Structure 1
Amino acid sequence: MAGSLRIEDLDVLKQQVSALLTQFDEVEAATTKTTRVRVNQDSSTWSPFPAATQFAAVYRAQIAKIENDLRTIRTELENMRTALDKGAADLEATEAEVAAIFSRLNTIAEEGAPAPTPGPYLPGRPPMPTDGNRVAW
């Protein structure tokens, strides 16, 4: 995921996570209200007449469906939030890696390249110095 995202996208991702959290809260509130309505559908709410009883049964079923739909939406929002959080974390890690690379490059530019490490010593053969273009064998 980090390969397709740019460092500039980090603020946008954070805004999207914030918007998802707001939507998550709204879905939670709607679910709570829907549950309250469903729970209040009992014999004291509706008259015992057949038409009211039939209506109440359909009404309860529809409210239960809305509750389930809201739970599904909540799960999808949570999955999106998790994906966006991971994308933001990947971008922050990439940004830190790039900053470290630039820091090392600045150090090299200011102080010069570090001395190369000598190659392995082979008996009977004098070590060859490295000059950046050759490798000591």
Structure 2
Amino acid sequence: MGNITFEQLPQAVSTLIERVEQLAGKVDEVLGKAAGKDTGKRSLLSLEEVAALLGKSASTIYAMTSEKRIPYRKRGNRLYFFEDEIMQWIEQGGTSGTGSEEDFNRRLEALRSGKKRKPGFLQTDNKQQAL
């Protein structure tokens, strides 16, 4: 790059910014890989990051945690999500993998027993008999 004139300055600054951003991205990528290999630390995701990753709202993620449909950790009032667990959960088709068949059957029976029925006088057979 030779001498830059005043008219060429905006283009030169734009090119410089673009190159710095590319370099910063490559440095972040290298440091991220090195940190993952060397330290063995698991990366945490916030509720908002999990919601964005799954394309769901934060309230939906809260509901999924209360139903134990998504892997999470809770410490006090804070929810924590590990990226590797979320990715594994997605690969498994979005199933928690923690529920057994017995648990499923117990929940199904609870739903069936809680099903409300119409009072006898509102059912169609009783209406026809009354007429």
| TM-score interval, smaller chain | 0.3 to 0.5
If the length of structure 1 is used for normalisation, what is the TM-score? 0.35
- The answer to which structure has the higher strand fraction is 2
**Structure whose CA Rg is larger:** 1
